[in-house]
Structure 1
Amino acid sequence: MVEATFLAVKRGIVEILFEITKANPDMIWSIDPVDFRDVLMSAIAYRQGKIASFVCGIVAWKDAIISSDDDGNNLLHIAGKLTPDFQLAHISGAALQMQRDLQWFKEVKGIVPQCYKEYKNVDGETPAQVFTREHKSLQKEAEEWMKKTEESSTVVGVLIITIMFAVAFTVPGGNNQDAGFPALLHEKSFMVFIVSDAIFLFAASTLVLMFLGILTSRYDEKDFLKSLPTKLIIGISTLFVSIAAMMVTFSAVLLIMLQRRMWLVIPIILFGSEPVTLFV
């Protein structure tokens, strides 16, 4: 019964734990014979938020959070340990893995008593010190991953800006010799070209600025909680927007140049939209 209890905890299967505790309520206080942790500590160690909420909901709140293992680690010490590899495997990128552990540590920190935040285990380490030590290698890996991503994306962004800035002043159809305005200014396809080109340029500029912000970051432990992931997500999103706008611009130019040959334009546009569709 004990083995089944902790297997359900590690897998995050609340329904099985519910049935076990329904048949034998004392099982909620059982200890894992492998690592000598109770149910709540195992739930914290394996990042099973639903299990932790279930345990806190059926036992006395203070009784649930004051537990500690044989090494003097309380719940916050356990939360500060590195997430098991099998749970990090589905998170792409070391930076996002670091963010996930920081979010979990912050969540557990919000429920433990204030005195537990500075409580030292048998090694004389506070929960924050345990987190820093456990995540030292992951933080370094996340920093390198962010720098490589920033370098690649910045090069792409600069190339995009260079090309589209030139395209903006090389309008299809040429300019009116008398007024100096584009000859196709009142064409709908030309307006699509101008708008998409502007969106393309603005998105690419935002992309470069976001990744420059990553480049100048201190890469502090707390930066991986919100600052760096936010800049990364904005940068990648604007890269996607700029590529999509580039394809729209390309399609608009084809419509202008080959407007009487729709049998040729439509297949080319469909093939041109394929990269964006595959990415989505």
Structure 2
Amino acid sequence: MINDMKVNDNKRNLLVKSICKVIIEKGNHEKAWKILGSAIVTAVKYGVHELIEECILTYPFIIWYGDDEYRLPDQVQDCQPYKFNLFIEAIRHRQERVFNLVYQMSHHKVFVATRHDDKENALHIAAKLAPTHRLHVVTGAALQMQRELQWFQEVQKLITRLSYEEELNNDGKTPRMLFSDEHKQLLIEGQQWMKDTASSFTVVAALIVTMTFAAAFTLPGGNQDNGIPMFLNFSTFMLFIISDAIALFSSSTSVLMFLGILTSRYAEEDFLYALPNRLTIGLISLFISLTATMIAFSSALALMLKYKVTWIATPLVIATSIPVCFFGLLHFPLLVELVKSTYGKSIFHQQNTQMIH
């Protein structure tokens, strides 16, 4: 499957190279400007950064396509200018691969980060809500809000003048004000998503806390007259005690993290790191506590049936792993996405391209 995808990508790149070469060999710069320019307009919308890269490598001046402030080559002076900017459109459509590609072109990135367009700079564009299909590349309104904040902060880094952060658009709004207005509904949805998720997991974590706390004082086999546990010298008993302690501590941590989410102020900035961080720690702790609880249960059962049913250990291990596996299947994808978006490699990074600055 992966090999087929690579073959298709290579064929597509070869086709693009051939088309670009044919257009340039015709020597008609007006046609090259129009054809390659329209190709870039479509490519940036759908995030086909390979096509954009090939077009620029073939015909470097096409990077200024649609920019009527820059003087076109002599061959295309009479072309009708088209209001389009590659960097701005990459931000508008939230296409990080195209953004990264343009970011590597140092001169272009400095130019577009400080330019104006109808009293809107690049930060105003980043403050607007992303298209619906780009919002849904991540799961849940909270992570969508996080992705939008990441975009806003990344563009903010490129702004060369602090005054642009306070610049007003046609509606009299700064980029930050525009961001709050555009993401008002997403913020509400993110709050609700976080509350619902945290509430559900809090019930499970609190139940595990109750069980593991009680199990610590209700030892299998009971105690001797001097208070020492009956199975103290058994390795299985030590496994029970350690597992129960781990389950208690991790489930308590999980409860605290989820309560921290429920009592949060839910400010916009909290969705960037604070809330995803708490949810990640809470989920990891809950997964550990569930696993440790199952181990403690199976070890306690094995202790009580040790002299009657000697073969009980293997079936118990298999049986107790079932709920842990189900929990992993249901919630591990969310955990992976949380870790990736919060602690993983940023979506804004240098790409391995042929582009020369």
Q: 2:290 aligns with which of 243, 247, 256?
A: 243
* Within-5 A mapping of 1:64-75: 64-69=112-117, 71-75=118-122
Q: 1:150 aligns with which of 194, 198, 201?
A: 198
* Within-5 A mapping of 1:1-280: 1-31=36-66, 36-58=83-105, 60=107, 61-69=109-117, 71-113=118-160, 114-177=162-225, 179-260=226-307, 261-280=309-328
- How far, CA to CA, are the matches of 1:7 and 1:186 in structure 2? 72
- How far, CA to CA, are the matches of 2:292 and 2:314 in structure 1? 17
- How far, CA to CA, are the matches of 1:262 and 1:11 in structure 2? 62
Q: SS in structure 1 opposite 2:104?
A: helix
1:47-66 superposed Cα distances (whole Å, 9 cap, x missing partner): 22332232233351422322
* Paired-residue identity, %: 45
1:31-89 superposed Cα distances (whole Å, 9 cap, x missing partner): 399x94310011112222332232233351422322343x4221111111112221222
Q: CA deviation at 1:191?
A: 0.7
1:112-161 superposed Cα distances (whole Å, 9 cap, x missing partner): 12221111111111110111011000001111122222222222222221
**Structure 1 ranges of 4+ moved more than 6 A:** none
- How far, CA to CA, are the matches of 1:56 and 1:67 in structure 2? 15
1:188-247 superposed Cα distances (whole Å, 9 cap, x missing partner): 111110011011111111111112212221111111111111111111111111111111
Give the stretch that moved more between structures: 256-265 or 239-248. Answer: 256-265
- How far, CA to CA, are the matches of 2:66 and 2:323 in structure 1? 53
TM-score normalised by L of structure 1? 0.91
Q: CA deviation at 1:13?
A: 2.9
Contact 2:112/2:122 (8 A) holds in 1: no
Contact 1:9/1:17 (8 A) holds in 2: yes
2:174 aligned partner, one-letter code: T
Aligned residues: 277
RMSD: 2.0
Give the stretch that moved more between structures: 190-199 or 158-167. Answer: 158-167
Q: SS in structure 2 opposite 1:110?
A: helix
Contact 2:302/2:312 (8 A) holds in 1: no
- How far, CA to CA, are the matches of 1:136 and 1:89 in structure 2? 17
Contact 1:184/1:190 (8 A) holds in 2: yes
- How far, CA to CA, are the matches of 1:142 and 1:14 in structure 2? 30
1:164 aligned partner, one-letter code: T
Distance 1:107 1:242, change over 3 A: same
* Gap regions ≥5 residues in structure 2: 1-35, 68-79, 329-357
Distance 1:227 1:112, change over 3 A: same
Contact 2:88/2:112 (8 A) holds in 1: no
Q: SS in structure 1 opposite 2:298?
A: helix
Q: SS in structure 1 opposite 2:94?
A: coil
Distance 1:81 1:122, change over 3 A: same
1:127 aligned partner, one-letter code: P
Q: CA deviation at 1:108?
A: 1.1
Contact 2:232/2:238 (8 A) holds in 1: yes
Q: SS in structure 2 opposite 1:185?
A: coil
- How far, CA to CA, are the matches of 1:125 and 1:205 in structure 2? 45
* Gap regions ≥5 residues in structure 1: none
